[in-house]
Amino acid sequence: MKVKISQIQRFCLHDGPGIRTTVFFKGCKLKCPWCSNPENISFSIEEKYPDELKGKEWELDELYCELIKDKTFFDKEGGITFSGGECLWQFENLEPLLKKLKENKYNICIETALNVPTKLIDIALKYVDFYYVDMKIVDPTKQSLINSDVNLFIQNLDRVLKHTDNITIRIPCVRNYTFTEENLNRILEILKNRRIKNVELFKIHRLAESKYKSLGKEMPLFENILNDEMNQIKDRIKTVVKNVEIIHI
């Protein structure tokens, strides 16, 4: 069994509890113009691109041996984070590795937008300890802007929440996409009716600009969100979600 990966990044401090090794999977069906990992949108190994962007196929045993090299750094909280792209698209192929990691007591975290068939969520629920969930466009009238399915997202979010509250909601603030009054109101409505303990708000950055150039693409420009606007959103979330911890990145 093989999976397609673009990069394995070690000693990560912001991809879950403790020190993590993060695996970036190829493939995502969302079309977010602000994507910070454009090399992972395609499900294919793109030979024409530089080695650090095109990715490669890994056998599961080979990948397991690579990941456990970092075991001494994980301590009690750390572990392995699967990211993307959308890592869940490859969870059927990845399941034997997930099972082996859990049998050996590795902590598993995923970064996901939950826009996948529910059967893939059910695989994750058997093995994943912590979830970072991107909440992007949840206004149904605008979901086509990024090829998302709001009903599927909410269905999958509720499925995960029924199983665990080890979830951090990440909200990318992008003018004219996620950062509209209609979308923000919908985000507040979703958060209000669910037990969410942690929320991260972040502005779009340009750290991926060199990747876009290497891929022969131009990175889109977006109008900056002001700090005062971010603080207003934090305050609005706090008014509807009790005891929530909010981080502004």
Domain membership of residue 139 as a residue range: 2-248
Segment holding 66, helix H or strand E: helix 60-67
Q: In this structure, are residues 178 and 201 in contact, taking their beta carbons and an 8 Å threshold?
A: no
Q: CATH code at 44?
A: 3.20.20.70
* Least confident piece of the model among 49-53, 153-157, 163-167: 49-53
Q: Encode pLDDT of 174-196 as tens digits.
A: 999 999 999 999 999 999 989 89
Q: What is the pTM of this model?
A: 0.95
- 134 pLDDT tier (thresholds 50, 70, 90): very high
Please choose, from the candidates 103, 68, 110, the residue with its C-alpha nearest in 3D space to the C-alpha of residue 85: 110
Query: Whole-angstrom distance between the N-terminal and C-terminal Cα of the chain?
Result: 37
Q: What's the structural domain count of the chain?
A: 1
Q: Note the Cα 34 to chain centre separation in Å.
A: 14
Residues 62 and 126 sit within 8 Å (Cβ to Cβ): no
**Would you say residue 52 has pLDDT above 80?**
no
